Amino acid sequence: MSNLEGKIAVITGGSSGIGLATAKRFVEEGAFVFITGRRQAELDKAEAEIGKNVTTVQGDVGSLVDLDRLYARVKAEKGVVDIVFANAGFIEHARIFDLSEAHYDKTMDINVKGVVFTVQKALPLMTRGGSIVVVSSIINAKGIPAHGAYAAAKAGVRALVRTWAQELKDQGIRVNTLSPGATETPIIRGQFASDEASEATKKGFASMTPLGRLGRPAELAAAAYFLASDESSYVTGIDLPVDGGLAQV
């Protein structure tokens, strides 16, 4: 029997990239997944790709109303949550010289507030313990120009996870962060005005990475599966970098 047989998972940002790859892996391992995202068309495509044991709920993690609607659906259909994969994120470049309030607020709303309340609102349904995996980033320990607010947000969720690991241990809930390096997902293209700029950046990251390439979503999903499953039953409070060595050597 699979490690995730009979488990119920909630995955935010589950319609593409790491979130979608993780949803597929969890279903392959026996879980039922609820995936969220802001665009219904992308959710519909993801549902078709996953193929079974999936419910999609359109919503924005920065909206507490949307999160309440998500968990009301989970409660009505399954009544319990075993795994939370808080993956939804937002990145936009801005140096301190031209950083705007709107940029700051959107970055923090999605990357910090969204994580906090995704986790908090899951807890009443985590009645049989479980695992919470928060997607941070290796940027939580790096200084990369134009990524200040994003780095602060990702370092912030890393700090929160340390605290939650202590606060939730008596409920049988483990909490960890997963920190990707440069990974081949649509979020990279979304940061640039042209395909050429995006490709140049990817080549640059690949050249800086000891393994000489970008990560694949399935590789991050494998790490997410480890942290979500009983394979990591003695692991809590950690930050697991999956980055080809980019921030490690």
Cβ burial 99-132 (10 Å sphere, 16+ → b, else e): beeebeeebbbbbbbbbbbbbebbbebbeeebbb
Identify the active-site residue in 71, 150, 225, 234.
150
225 labelled catalytic? no
CB 184 within 8 A of CB 214: yes
- Location of structure tokens 């937002």: 90
| Cβ neighbours, 10 Å, residue 191 | 14
* Residues identified as active-site: 150
